[in-house]
Chain A
Amino acid sequence: MKIKVNNKEVETAASSIAALVDELALPAQGVAVAVDNRMVPRAGWADFALAEGMSLVIIKAACGG
């Protein structure tokens, strides 16, 4: 199915956020994910079902000042 990740169209077989994070080989820590402009806590990633057309934003943690 097609979804958007950071405004780019991505073809994925991942059925959940957790699977997508694996597929994109994102680091286990230090990223946050929002679906349709709403943050999804890490604890909910495995159960969050992705669907055609969803728009995801992956945000890298930052700490510098």
Chain B
Amino acid sequence: MDEKRHEGRYDRQTMLPEIGPEGQERLRRARVLIVGAGGLGSPVSLYLAGAGVGRIGLVDDDRVGRSNLHRQVLYAEDEVGQPKALAAARRLRALNPDVEVEPHVCRLSAGNVRELVGRYDVVVDACDNYATRYLLSDACVALGRPYVYGAVEGFCGQVAVFCRTAGSRTYRDLYPEEDAAARQALASKGVVGMTPAVVGGVQAHEVLKLVCGYGDVLDGRLWTIDLRTMQSYVVEI
């Protein structure tokens, strides 16, 4: 391994007593699955790759569209039309060659969710639909994986951590009515780029807390933010 490449790369985070060299080693050994390489998946994957998470899996079956570029900061103009998971993997490897990036160009389904989740230690939900969120939550309960949930709409966002231990809250405790969620009219797709930037940043940091073991994880608690008013709440689920 090229030692020069490491020189100083993580200094500014390892000098924090919460992380230190021990936390850095934990990050290096960590395997994180990010479901969705869009608005949330962009900051989540960039910051986790930057932080030195050893293995990052990225699930997305979509291609880069021009209307993605205002918020999906993983991608550049000349990548429009390319599969997101592959373009993202290139970007993350360029950012930090220490990180092993595993692109999964597929849609998460009942058929593959357990196999995928089972290969990682922590799951980050950066997807854009209710059905995938229920699938992920159920798989994380069954396999005992912490599930870092995040969602955005317009100027508002929310983050919670589910399934951390056997008795932990799950996504179903937040939204128990799966049928009603499936029926819900498609919400407005309008969003400013800063909403997923803020929310994805918080999700990525919850992963750091889980892996390095510091702070109070949003375990069974929902954090919400409205960027118009800057009103923010943390409520027990």
Q: Which one of A30, A59, A60, A64 has the highest number of Cβ atoms from chain B below 10 Å of its Cβ?
A: A64
Q: Which one of B36, B126, B224 has the highest number of Cβ atoms from chain A below 10 Å of its Cβ?
A: B224
Tell me whether A7 and B231 are in contact (CB under 8 A).
yes
Q: Taking the complex as formed, is B53 at the interface, i.e. its CB lies under 8 A from any CB of chain A?
A: no
A46 to B127, CA, bound (A): 33
Tell me whether B237 and A62 are in contact (CB under 8 A).
no
- Interface size of B by CB at 8 A reads 39
Tell me whether B152 and A65 are in contact (CB under 8 A).
yes
Q: Taking the complex as formed, is B212 at the interface, i.e. its CB lies under 8 A from any CB of chain A?
A: no
Q: Taking the complex as formed, is B121 at the interface, i.e. its CB lies under 8 A from any CB of chain A?
A: no
**Using Cβ atoms and an 8 Å threshold, which residues of chain A touch B237?**
39
Tell me whether A29 and B177 are in contact (CB under 8 A).
yes
- Interface size of A by CB at 8 A reads 19
Tell me whether B151 and A64 are in contact (CB under 8 A).
yes
Tell me whether B158 and A62 are in contact (CB under 8 A).
yes
Q: Which listed residue (A6, A37, A42, A64) contacts B231, Cβ 8 A?
A: A6
Q: From B157, which residue of chain A is reached at the shortest CB distance?
A: A62
Q: Taking the complex as formed, is A57 at the interface, i.e. its CB lies under 8 A from any CB of chain B?
A: yes
Tell me whether B196 and A37 are in contact (CB under 8 A).
no
Given contacts A34-B233, A39-B236, A57-B233, contact A63 B153 (CB under 8 A): yes
Q: Which residues of A contact B (CB under 8 A)?
A: 6-7, 29-30, 32, 34, 37-39, 41-42, 57, 59-65
Closest 6 CB pairs of A and B: A65-B128, A34-B235, A62-B153, A62-B151, A38-B236, A65-B40
